[in-house]
């Protein structure tokens, strides 16, 4: 997400520059983008990162849904030890 926000803008700026020149606009944009990301609620925790880092523990949801049982009693679990 950070790279998308920074470099999407950079590539657009570079398209307007003469060939071979690079933009460093992302350096100036970095603090504003980080501040914005830290103040947006995340799906994983349901909290803003700027709030979550101040807590001792933060509960989170699974990052991806699973559609099968996960654990020691799985079939073919011997394949995992190879």
Higher pLDDT, 6 or 76: 6
- Mean of the per-residue pLDDT values of the chain: 81
d(CA 60, CA 49): 12
More confident position, 21 or 66: 21
Q: Is the pTM of this model over 0.85?
A: no
Q: What is the pLDDT of residues 9-49, one digit of tens each?
A: 888 888 888 888 888 888 888 999 999 999 999 888 889 99
Rounded CA-CA distance 55/49 in Å is 10
Check residues 26 and 70 and name the one with the higher pLDDT: 26
């Amino acid at each position: 997400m950070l790279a998308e926000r920074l470099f999407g803008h950079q590539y657009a700026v570079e398209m307007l520059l003469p060939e071979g020149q690079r933009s460093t606009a992302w350096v100036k944009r970095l603090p504003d983008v980080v501040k914005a990301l830290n103040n947006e609620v995340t799906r994983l925790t349901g909290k803003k990162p700027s709030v979550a880092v101040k807590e001792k523990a933060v509960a989170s949801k699974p990052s991806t849904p699973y559609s099968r049982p996960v654990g020691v009693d799985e079939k073919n679990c011997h394949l995992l030890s190879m």
